């Protein structure tokens, strides 16, 4: 397979890991980030640094992995950037709102640039191993074009329709489910500890019987052990995704009663200084409600 010329924007823990897998697969990757440290780290692995975003959009394909709607909009949804782009397609791999996905698709189409949504399931260690699940939506021919990149970064690509926002819908709902699971684990572990049982034993039993899988085993262990660092997914971003779910529900008259509980628990954690810890640190809010020692 001949390598592709790829521009990559956004080199947090996830973006850096994903760009690294593309380099190891033999693709030519040009990288841009607001802070220079991750650019230098990837340059040492063979990436080409980009002077600006115009240079990034001179590649055949652009991938972006940015934090939120506001960052995507301010950096990438600029008519002057897209008007001068040589790239055939921009693949937005971030978790963003359905509204932004629709507006991005329309703006890209006006300037003759393809647009795909392709958020991912998996933490940074999964990205490092090239084992992500990629939720892709948009024009099928464009997905075909970038499939070699998805194959390098992920174990499976889930094709979710011709409209990019459909992938964002599945991703938002998926993260909402994970947040609900973390909160339920936190409450169950607090109940076990307050009653004299070992939370770690509770998690081991449940993850080995009723609730097998990476969410209950992985996050369950983090909650039981109160092990929230290093952050695989920052708590502040977890609140952002809970709010995306609540906003999506409100727009479509879909009540999400657990969402309000989650929002308040995450706000409690933020108020206690946990913004940069893993989002499983929301479990500390359940401990405080139960009167358990800090």
Q: Which residues are catalytic?
A: 171
**Contact status, residue 132 vs residue 120, Cβ threshold 8 Å:** yes
Q: How far apart are CA 283 and CA 2, in angstroms?
A: 47
User: How many angstroms separate the CA atoms of 150 and 262, rounded?
Assistant: 32
Separation CA 224–CA 211 (nearest Å):
15
- Nearest CA to 177 out of 89, 90, 238, 91 is that of 238
Radius of gyration for the chain, computed over Cα atoms and rounded to the nearest angstrom: 20
Whose structure tokens read 């936190």?
186
Distances (CA, A) of 86 to 5, 44, 58, 237: 12, 26, 5, 32
Strand-strand pairing, 61-64 and 48-49: unpaired
């Amino acid at each position: 397979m001949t390598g592709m010329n790829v521009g990559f924007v956004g080199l947090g823990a996830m973006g850096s890991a994903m760009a690294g897998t593309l380099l190891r697969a033999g693709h030519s990757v040009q990288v841009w980030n607001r802070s220079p440290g991750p650019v230098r780290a990837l340059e040492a692995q063979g990436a080409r640094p980009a002077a600006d975003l115009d240079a990034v959009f001179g590649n055949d394909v652009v991938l972006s992995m940015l934090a939120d709607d506001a960052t995507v909009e301010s950096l990438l949804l600029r008519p002057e950037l897209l008007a001068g782009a040589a790239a055939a397609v921009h693949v937005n791999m971030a978790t963003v709102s359905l509204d932004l996905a629709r507006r991005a698709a329309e703006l890209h189409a006006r300037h003759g640039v393809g647009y795909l949504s392709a958020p991912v399931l998996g933490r940074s260690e999964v990205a490092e191993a090239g084992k992500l699940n990629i939720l892709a939506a948009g024009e099928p021919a464009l997905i075909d074009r970038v499939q070699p990149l998805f194959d390098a970064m992920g174990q499976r690509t889930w094709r979710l329709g011709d409209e990019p926002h459909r992938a964002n819908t599945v991703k938002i709902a998926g993260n909402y489910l994970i947040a609900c699971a973390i909160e339920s684990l936190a409450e169950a572990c607090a109940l076990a500890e307050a009653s004299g049982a070992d939370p770690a034993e509770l998690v081991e039993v449940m993850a080995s019987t009723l609730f097998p899988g990476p969410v209950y085993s992985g996050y369950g262990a983090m909650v039981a052990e109160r092990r929230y660092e290093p952050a695989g997914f920052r708590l502040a971003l977890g609140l952002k995704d809970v709010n995306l779910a609540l906003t999506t529900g409100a727009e479509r008259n879909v009540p999400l009663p657990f969402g309000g509980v989650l929002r308040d628990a995450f706000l409690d954690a933020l108020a206690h200084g946990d913004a940069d810890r893993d989002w499983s640190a929301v479990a500390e809010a359940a401990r405080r409600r139960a009167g358990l020692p800090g």
